[in-house]
Each structure stands twice: as C-alpha cells, then as structure tokens.
Structure 1
C-alpha cells in the first residue's frame, strides 16, 4: 500500500462527470473520480456496475458522451487508445487478452509497440523477467499453453513494457486459485512501490481493499461511496454488500 504522504501528492488522473452509453443504454451516469500519483485506487462493485466501462473509457476504447478526463493535466477523452498508451497509461484487460498463438516474448514485444528506444526495451524485458520468473522460464513457449495465472502475469508484463506511469488493471484475480490471487496482488503492490500508480477494478473486494489507499464503490453506473480503503473495508454497508459479512 502506498504511503499516507500521498494525500499531498498531485492528482495524476481526473475523471469529471462522464456519461457513457452503449447504444441506448446509459452505462456510466456522471462518474467523477481522481487518482493521485503513487496511489493504488480501487473500484469495487457488483457485475454490471460500470467498473470495466470506466477503465475502457479512460484508456480510450470508449468515448464519453459528456464530461472530461485529464491525465497529468492534459485532456485525453476522445483520444485514440494507442496515443493514450504513449501518454503513459496502460491497461491490463479483463480476461487477459493475450495472443495465444504467439510466444511469451512476442507478446511482451507487442507491449512495447509505441517505443523506439531499443536499449530501454531490452532493459524492460529484463525487468519483466525478473518480476515474473515463470515468464523467463517460458519465454519461447506459446502463450496459449500457459496456465491462467501465468497468462495473467504475461498480460501484466506486456502492459509494463510500455513503461506506464498509470497502470489500469481489470479483474486481475478472475478465474485464479486463491494462492495465485495472493501472488498477483503481491506483485501489484511491488509494481506500485517501484513507482507505478495503479487504478484497480476488482470483484474480490476484500483483496482490493487490503492493498488500496482509496476506493470508490460503483452501483449501476454511479459512484455511491468513496473513501480511504481501510474505512470502507470496516463499513457495515460495504461489508454486507461486497465482503460477505
């Protein structure tokens, strides 16, 4: 978890009153949130609450009908997704979305497609392999033959290859065994400690709140609660709705 000093850190991402539609369906209804430099911020909520839609809108895969999104002071709403990656935001999508017929190393190389600094890219292969030793052992293996946990590590490694300052993670624990979930969350904390700010969407609210600084609760396209993660984890309302208590 990032330090309490982050309360004075500068706002890195600001989402202001965005409305997003899928055809006639009003998916996000005036959502506002911010992420400060160095934080882990989590969005929790039931399936269909709008968590993934929020991430997809920030990363440029969806365009808000109204509202604004700024990153490091610059407007990014409506910008093409590959340019947002270049700006310093990278997303690990729900369901991993690795390229199953390509090797581990080829998948990682695609994460660096916006970059031309050959030496830096080589350094980042080393960084990813040091962080995920299992990927190093399997660098020539076809990615579709990896286990679910290894595929999640590959999706995270691929996102890190673009050197993001803000990492968006969409349901990293989905479909993983409890031991692997612990490992993935421990890696998320390490990535954050190494200097990458994290915005995490996660159905496993217990785990998400245990590593986050702050949290937002989404219900049917609206933010209904926000606060320090530890306060929300202790809230009766949140416990009953999301923490099985």
Structure 2
C-alpha cells in the first residue's frame, strides 16, 4: 500500500533523513520507534506531504506522492494524526470533527461516521458542544484521532498518540488503535512507548539519527537485548 524508497530530507544544512526505506502492507500496523530526534516525525511529515524531500520516492497505492500537496494526499485516502494533537482549540468538538470531513459531501456517510466516532469515543459525545481547548489531554488525543477518521482513511499515520498521557489513558488509546485497525484501516504508528507499539504491531522499524538501523518482527524485537536496553528501559 505504501512504499518509501531511499528518501532524503534536509532542514537547511541538517540531513534529517538519510536514505529511509520502508513498506506498509494493507491491513497492517507498522511501527517506527526511536529516540527523540531520530527522524520519526520527519518521516511521517514527508509521507503526508507536509515536508518536502530532497530525493527518493514515496508511493501510495501505486501512485507517486513526490509532487502531491498535502491536501491532495488526504483526498487519496491518507490522514495524519499529528504530534501534539493539534486540535482547533477555539472550536467545539463537533466543529473539529466536521473539519475532518471537509473533503466529503456524502451527508449520510458523514452522519454515520459521526456516530462511529462517538461510539469509539463516548466522552467526545458527552462533550460535543465543548470547546476543544478545554478538554483533557486524553480527550484531545481522542478528538485528533476521531477527526482523522472522518476522512475515512485507508492509511492512518499516527504520531506519538500516547505522549503526555496517564498510563490508564495510554492503554485506552492503544486499544482503540487496535480496534481501528481491525475495522480495516492500515496504520503507520510513530511511538516513543516502544513496548506498547511493538506489542500491537505486525512490522517494526528502528530509527537512529535519521537512519533505519533495524527492521523486522516486533515480537522478536521485544526479546532483543539491544532493543530492550535502548528503548524499553531494561
């Protein structure tokens, strides 16, 4: 479904991504793990068209995304839950969700998807008329995910969905990630909580200073001593 081949990305003179290659097959959860500054967010931003690459190739559903602007990437069936949630704080929960469906005009389908989001996130239904900026961190994360689902994405990019959340909320978010995947959405997950990410993924990549240094079975990585000491705090 998604193929990234030898992409290079620069911020001024800083070579942030160095020949990154990865694949995401339909129906999978693929995770990128790595320390802060490893290039995880830059990889997602390159894929969704938010940051331009210097070289390499990004292909989604057999179509090159290299020159495609971000808003057209969304129309092609990809949505991005950004790091830090980035909800529209001065708009209500419902207005945030409506903005998620901005490229759609199928009123019945949009209404069905509001119902789907509220079924997945009952707290959002309770707060549908509340300003997003007044929600808790966990509720804002749920809103950011719900807003991305309103696109009806085939591929969902998720950047640090557990960041800054209490452990009980983290578990809830990861349960929902699994549920979204089971309902047919492919997921590329960037996550600092390596243990949680590896426990739900089908495939994993490890990023260090802009390079992929390991890829393979996440269950094997959970038992790899070098991974355990570097990323699992063991």
TM range (shorter): over 0.9
Any stretches of 5+ residues in structure 1 without a counterpart? Answer: 1-11
- Among candidates 9, 16, 36, match of residue 27 of structure 1: 16
Distance 1:116 1:66 in 2: 36
| 2:135 corresponds to 1:146 | yes
What SS does the corresponding residue of 1:230 show, helix, strand or coil? helix
Distance 1:112 1:146 in 2: 21
- Among candidates 90, 99, 102, match of residue 113 of structure 1: 102
Deviations 1:99-149 (A, max 9, x none): 001000000001011111111111111110111000011100111110000
Deviations 1:48-97 (A, max 9, x none): 00000000000000111100000111101231101000001100000000
Deviations 1:6-47 (A, max 9, x none): xxxxxx100000000111110000000000000000000000
Query: In the alignment, what sits opposite 1:175?
Result: 164
Query: In the alignment, what sits opposite 1:135?
Result: 124
Deviations 1:189-213 (A, max 9, x none): 0000000000000000001001111
| 2:181 corresponds to 1:189 | no
Distance 1:215 1:181 in 2: 20
Any stretches of 5+ residues in structure 2 without a counterpart? Answer: none
Query: In the alignment, what sits opposite 1:98?
Result: 87
Is 1:82–1:114's contact at 8 Å kept on the other side of the alignment?
no
| 2:50 corresponds to 1:57 | no
Distance 2:185 2:110 in 1: 17
Distance 1:112 1:196 in 2: 17
Is 1:64–1:78's contact at 8 Å kept on the other side of the alignment?
no
What SS does the corresponding residue of 1:169 show, helix, strand or coil? strand
Query: In the alignment, what sits opposite 2:190?
Result: 201
What SS does the corresponding residue of 2:138 show, helix, strand or coil? helix
Query: In the alignment, what sits opposite 2:228?
Result: 239
| TM-score (structure 1 length as normaliser) | 0.95
| 2:200 corresponds to 1:211 | yes
Distance 1:188 1:105 in 2: 21
Query: In the alignment, what sits opposite 1:82?
Result: 71
| TM-score (structure 2 length as normaliser) | 0.99
Distance 2:117 2:66 in 1: 30
